[in-house]
Amino acid sequence: MDSNYIVCHNISDVKSAISYENNSFDVRIESKLPETTKTEKCILGIDEAGRGPVLGPMVYGTSYCSVDNQDILKSLGCADSKVLSELARDEIFDGITKQSEILGWAVHIISPTTISNCSFRRQKCSLNEISHNAAIGLIQRVLDKGVNICEVFVDTVGPPDKYQEKLLSIFPQLKITVSKKADSLFPIVSAASICAKVTRDAALKNWKFIERPGEDIDSNWGSGYPNDPVTKEYLKKNIDPVFGFPSIVRFSWSTAELVLKNNAAQIDWSDEEEDEDKKSLPITSFFGQNNKQVHQKTPFFDDRGLIITTKF
């Protein structure tokens, strides 16, 4: 079994895995492999939770089962996770884990640190690209485990046509459908959405603040979305003037950047190489300006006290 993935059998296992790991890094969790999915034709869904908030991870989820067993998804009540209550999502996820002989799932918890680093590095990686890579990684993971996937359904990020074309170029052997609101159109995507949302909720509730180990940390951060007044107030109250926010915050979000600008110490990061360059004369200074020729004496003339007496 790949050590990058932690096998979990229920929500308690998921919470334990999240609590054990360092939240500054990505975490990957999966169910045990249903043996029937190796031989029977299967469908797979992809969706995410937590794309927009300034707080917490973004979680990508996948769910898969055989074509013949997909009716179980409707009987479990799989629907768009955003229209379900937290209790309903937890109950459905519990039902999914109990159908481990025919239903498989996996999640990729993308940490706020990863999201911020991708935005701040020299060659920036957009949130869309992060999302695409996570989805591709989950599909490849399930294929590598030997699941007989024949059709994939994905909730779009960006233009559906371009995203679908991109996925088909990577997985030409699969039939892939990328669409808007896929989580409300395809039960298999709804199941993936629920897995992602339940995992994100668990991550927030079990967040380890490595900045203040052992301390009780204020968790009244509201919805986590940038336009939430409670979230904005949380950012203002939990900022260090030098080190900024705890690792639960996405530093790269404009809301967080504005709070940093107004409440943190402003630091000028000087570059020694740039300072040295400023002292150096530009190469253009050695050429004449305004078509006037500039004559500069060499050390040979200076050493011998020679001067120019004739101008040509």
Tell me the two tokens of residue 113: 């640190």
CA distance 14 to 105: 12
Is the backbone of residue 91 left (phi > 0), alpha (psi -120 to 50) or beta?
alpha
Exposed (0-12), middle (13-18) or buried (19+): which is 39, by Cβ within 10 Å? exposed
Residue 48 labelled as part of a binding site? yes
Helix (H) or strand (E) holding 16, with range, is helix 11-20
Q: Name the amino acid, one letter, at 308.
A: I
* DSSP-assigned beta bridge partners for residue 46: 62, 154
Of the candidates 196, 24, 28, which has an alpha carbon nearest to the alpha carbon of residue 108? 28
Three-class DSSP category at 51: coil
Helical spans, DSSP H, in 177-306: 182-185, 187-205, 229-237, 254-263, 272-279, 299-303
Residues 6+ apart with CB under 8 A from 107: 28, 29, 30, 59, 60, 61, 62, 195, 196, 199
Over its C-alpha atoms, the chain yields an Rg (Å, rounded) of: 28
Residue 274 labelled as part of a binding site? no
Residues 6+ apart with CB under 8 A from 148: 37, 38, 39, 40, 41, 42
Cβ–Cβ under 8 Å, residues 63 and 203: no
Q: Name the amino acid, one letter, at 85.
A: S
Residues 6+ apart with CB under 8 A from 235: 54, 245, 249, 255, 256, 259
Q: Which residues are annotated as a binding site for a divalent metal cation?
A: 47-48, 155
Q: Which residues are annotated as a binding site?
A: 47-48, 155
